[in-house]
Amino acid sequence: MEKLTLKIDGMHCGSCAVGIQMLASQMGGVKSAEVSYDDKKGTFEFDPAKVKKEDIVKAIADLGYTAS
């Protein structure tokens, strides 16, 4: 398992964080996702054999947020 922490821009409220967290946790290969609106960041634990960092960043971007 790998751990990835991303800065996430564009969140307007706690519901934004919950939506990102739900999306990421449903991705194959993602073991856990914790997104904080207050900290403007997300931490993701994933299996790099099943999902790539770029896939997580793209999924967040597809929701309209910027992850770096």
Count of residues making up the chain = 68
**Which CATH architecture fits 2-67?**
2-Layer Sandwich (3.30)
Spans of all domains in the chain: 2-67
Residue-level pLDDT at 51: 95
Parallel, antiparallel, or unpaired: how do β-strands 2-9 and 30-36 relate?
Answer: unpaired
pTM metric for this prediction: 0.89
Could you give the CA distance from residue 49 to residue 62 in angstroms, rounded to a whole number?
22
pLDDT in tens, the chain (68 residues): 999 999 999 999 999 999 999 999 999 999 999 999 999 999 999 999 999 999 999 999 999 999 99
Q: Tokens 């634990």 appear where?
A: 45
60, 44, 57, 42: which is closest to 6 by C-alpha? 42
